[in-house]
Amino acid sequence: MSLVVGLMSGTSLDGVDAALVDFSEPSPRTLGTLWLAYPDDVRGEALGLQVPGGNELHRAALLANSLARCYADAVLTLIANTGHRPEQIAAIGCHGQTVRHQPGQGYTIQLNNPALLAEITEIPVIADFRSRDIAAGGQGAPLVPAFHAAVFADSTEHRVVLNLGGIANLTNLTPGKPVRGFDCGPGNMLLDAWAEKHLGQRYDKGGQWANGGTPIARLLNVLLADPYFFAQPPKSCGRDEFNLDWVDRHLVAKDGAQDVQASLLELTAVTVTDAISRWCGTPQTVLVCGGGVHNIALIARLQAILGECRVVDTESVGQPADWVEAVAFAWLAWQNLRGQAGNLAEVTGAVGPRVLGAIYPR
């Protein structure tokens, strides 16, 4: 069997992306996709567990069960929509929901109950992809550069893949040279959180609100001074480092909400382009994927800063931009099934290549 479902629920905490992928040919073929929003109580608890609180172990276990049921709904709906049956699916590759990422302390936590997911769907589940890389001395992130290299590398063109999820990460694909990849800082996460706080909306559609504001130079400068942006890869980050508390510490009373949003958009644009310049050189093309591809103002700002470098979405090379990470976790599961490494040690800092993920049989 060559069909695998990939599930990705990222730092945006809005829901789960599911992709059914066929690996029978050299290039993975996406047969169907589905997005399932988290119920409000699931999203609220996932947000609540991002920070320390009471009765955490019990709450985390209950949330893991709820997440597994959401994932099962997504999987079963997707395979039914595409005319398939559970017994035709080789595995589910499930990332889980990150609530802590502390590679420096030797751990990362992605909430999930893969045993329950396997029980409900009657499909083998491969989960907990990041822990083995961390055990081998790596960051456990980003993991998608190995997939990016497999599907986006070109023998004649220097490309950078930019994933604009909650966190922004880069994969540098220079012909004839080792792959590099790392988290460069906030992607959509701060923009979405600020929009929800002040507009009551999950995100700033198209970046229109930010586009109507003016970046606050003082605020932008102090945010850009964060040591993370100057740290050398390999490196990874998440809500532990970048959150609204981090922003609030640097605000003053006169800072208008719309101008703060404009500043956060500029923060993402500048940290991404600085990271490209500092660590990737001068690519010919930047391939963009993730939810941020729909932020028209952000994409325009990236193109303005990068100048002659083409900024296009991954659809232009055959992979739908909204689903690249879900397809990547299907690929990681496929790598596990074949006993092949899913990490790139030069990206994560691990001591060597490792087969990633634990298998929960049907």
What domains, with CATH codes, occur in the chain? 3-139+324-360 (3.30.420.40), 144-317 (3.30.420.40)
Mean pLDDT of 276-288: 97
Residue 11 has pLDDT above 90, yes or no: no
- Confidence at 191, pLDDT banded by 50, 70, 90: very high
User: Cα–Cα–Cα angle for 139, 144, 145, nearest 5°?
Assistant: 85
Give the least confident one: 11-15, 183-187, 242-246: 11-15
SS3 255: coil
Residue 24 tokens, joined: 């029978």
- Cβ neighbours for 214, distance < 8 A, ≥ 6 positions apart: 259, 262
Amino acid in position 233: P
pLDDT at residue 12 in the model? 78
Residue 113 has pLDDT above 90, yes or no: yes
Residue 171 has pLDDT above 90, yes or no: yes
- Confidence at 240, pLDDT banded by 50, 70, 90: confident
Residue 255 has pLDDT above 90, yes or no: yes
- Cβ neighbours for 228, distance < 8 A, ≥ 6 positions apart: 185, 235, 237, 241
- Confidence at 97, pLDDT banded by 50, 70, 90: very high
Of 140, 111, 117, 149, nearest in space to 10 by CA = 111
CA distance 271 to 224: 7
Residue 293 has pLDDT above 90, yes or no: yes
CA distance 328 to 16: 14
Residue 290 has pLDDT above 90, yes or no: yes
pLDDT at residue 89 in the model? 98
Mean pLDDT of 166-192: 96
Residue 14 has pLDDT above 90, yes or no: no
pLDDT at residue 246 in the model? 97
CA distance 291 to 119: 31
- Confidence at 27, pLDDT banded by 50, 70, 90: confident
Q: Say if CB 169 and CB 181 are below 8 A apart.
A: yes
Strand partners, 98: 110
Count how many Cα atoms sit within 13 Å of the Cα of residue 362 in the half-sphere of its side chain.
Answer: 11
The end-to-end CA distance of the chain, in Å, is 14
Q: Please report, rounded to a whole number, the percentage of residues in the chain having pLDDT higher than 70.
A: 100
